[in-house]
Structure 1
């Protein structure tokens, strides 16, 4: 009887020990599984790398890696771009009637001259006639699902026209030629000396307004971006800068009969990270007689 009781006790102890060992192994296995299910996430730009994602398990030295693109956040309805710079070329389409400009006293020739001022005197050095613009900011307002936007801003336009000839711009006053009466309006002469540098600079405060189309909203350096509209500029500075051996460097600021306001058609195209701009004014930059319609073309350094 005692022998039978002893055998029953030993059997019970073995059963309990086996159950405890099984539970311990299950806990360790579950702990390992949870350890292997931990996620390590790395973000590189818009790419997300997840190691051991989901229920994949690590076996030996093998690691499961999942690649996916980071979800794009909600785009703002108004975005601002600060400190934009343009580098380009400035020129004009010359429609002047030079006979009428001479008769109207805008072009003044030396007495007895057999070669009056004409279109050739206003030819530009195209490579040195530059357009440099500094835009304080530009904003883009969402109109239709960020594909169609309203774009506007404010900045400075600096147009520089470099002449091949030796013309000089003069304010109203005494004639440079003896025996001629005072001239009541701004005028232009062919000077008696040669200039190594001769340019007319016109500086504007400008407000552009454009309708913008963007093929890939949220990714500024991908897809195509097109903008077109108008700009209004206010002339705040004009000068005739000249350099010569006889007179040295001269920067003559004055009123040379330039229009106070300039209205232009403008456009911009972005192909990936490259942005080009252009403008054309259908009206002359001069008030009287001279009909010169300016245009520009260049590269824009902008985020969008």
Structure 2
């Protein structure tokens, strides 16, 4: 009986143990599978997320580099362009009126001039500051209120009263000058894209042409007449210029420290131009 009991017990244990082992292995396998699925995601999903992350990082780095480059970028200097200005004759910056001996040069609001600046060149530049120069042509029209003609007498520029003495009516009169200018400017650029700018400096020019022009509307004398005399004007002028603007537009002011006429050959008047410019 004891032997049978022992044999029965061994037989039952032999049958039960493999089943338990199999169940244990199955549970362990399931547990390992669960751990793998929970701890290590699917590789395809990981690669997809990783590629998206890399693209995002690349896009961010490209954008930041572009922004950084745009912030460091110096725009071209603001000199080349087209401008329109009022040409005024004054005593000096402290006295915006004409001197007593030059009242006959009193001007009308039609004293409009034009500047054509085809070239500018940046000599030195940093992030916001630059030194530039260029070439420009300046045309001035000094139109007189009293429609007075000019002449040279003994080398001195004086009013020509012959038409007034003959009672010949002049409907228009002006003095025209043309200069070839070269500036030397320091420019400051501001804003995220350096769109705002201020430049200032010196400008000098050589006179290329001068003439006076009158228009008569009288039965005895009718038409337009020019006098291509130099009227004792300086061959060179020099002064200071200031330009303040945004992008392609600027407010410009130029003060010529030199007198318009040579000493002793005309009234001691200086020139000031104020206008608007379109920068190319």
Decide: shared fold, TM above 0.5: yes
CA contact (8 A) 1:146 1:217 kept: no
The equivalent position to 1:189 in structure 2, one of 160, 163, 169, is 160
CA contact (8 A) 2:234 2:261 kept: yes
CA contact (8 A) 2:172 2:216 kept: yes
The equivalent position to 1:299 in structure 2, one of 263, 276, 280, is 276
The equivalent position to 1:225 in structure 2, one of 195, 198, 205, is 198
Counterparts in 2 of 1:147 and 1:71: CA distance versus 1, 3 Å: closer
- In structure 2, stretches of 5+ residues that fail to align are 1-21, 92-97
Deviation (angstroms), 1:35: 5.6
Deviation (angstroms), 1:68: 9.4
Residue 159 of structure 2 aligns to a residue whose secondary structure is strand
Specify the structure having the higher radius of gyration (Cα). Answer: 2
CA deviation string 1:93-113 (max 9, x = no partner): 146563xxxxxxxxxxxxxxx
Are 1:128 and 2:110 an aligned pair? yes
Match of 1:88 in 2: 85
Match of 2:230 in 1: 255
CA contact (8 A) 2:185 2:199 kept: no
Counterparts in 2 of 1:208 and 1:71: CA distance versus 1, 3 Å: same
Residue 72 of structure 1 aligns to a residue whose secondary structure is helix
CA contact (8 A) 1:129 1:162 kept: yes
The equivalent position to 2:45 in structure 1, one of 3, 18, 29, is 29
Deviation (angstroms), 1:298: 1.5
Question: TM-score, structure 2 length as denominator?
Answer: 0.66
CA contact (8 A) 2:254 2:272 kept: yes
Task: Map 1:68-147 to 2 at 5 A.
Answer: 70-72=67-69, 79=76, 83-94=80-91, 96=99, 98=101, 119-125=102-108, 127-142=109-124, 145-147=126-128
- In structure 1, stretches of 5+ residues that fail to align are 1-7, 42-49, 55-65, 99-118, 173-182
The equivalent position to 2:138 in structure 1, one of 157, 164, 172, is 157
Match of 2:11 in 1: none
CA contact (8 A) 2:113 2:139 kept: yes
In 1, Cα distance between equivalents of 2:228 and 2:159: 14
Are 1:268 and 2:268 an aligned pair? no
Match of 1:202 in 2: 177
In 1, Cα distance between equivalents of 2:191 and 2:232: 45
Are 1:245 and 2:226 an aligned pair? no
Deviation (angstroms), 1:132: 1.4
CA contact (8 A) 1:159 1:202 kept: yes
Deviation (angstroms), 1:283: 2.9
Residue 220 of structure 1 aligns to a residue whose secondary structure is coil
Q: What is the aligned-residue RMSD (CA, Å)?
A: 4.4
CA contact (8 A) 1:81 1:302 kept: yes
Considering fraction of residues, name the structure with more helix. 2
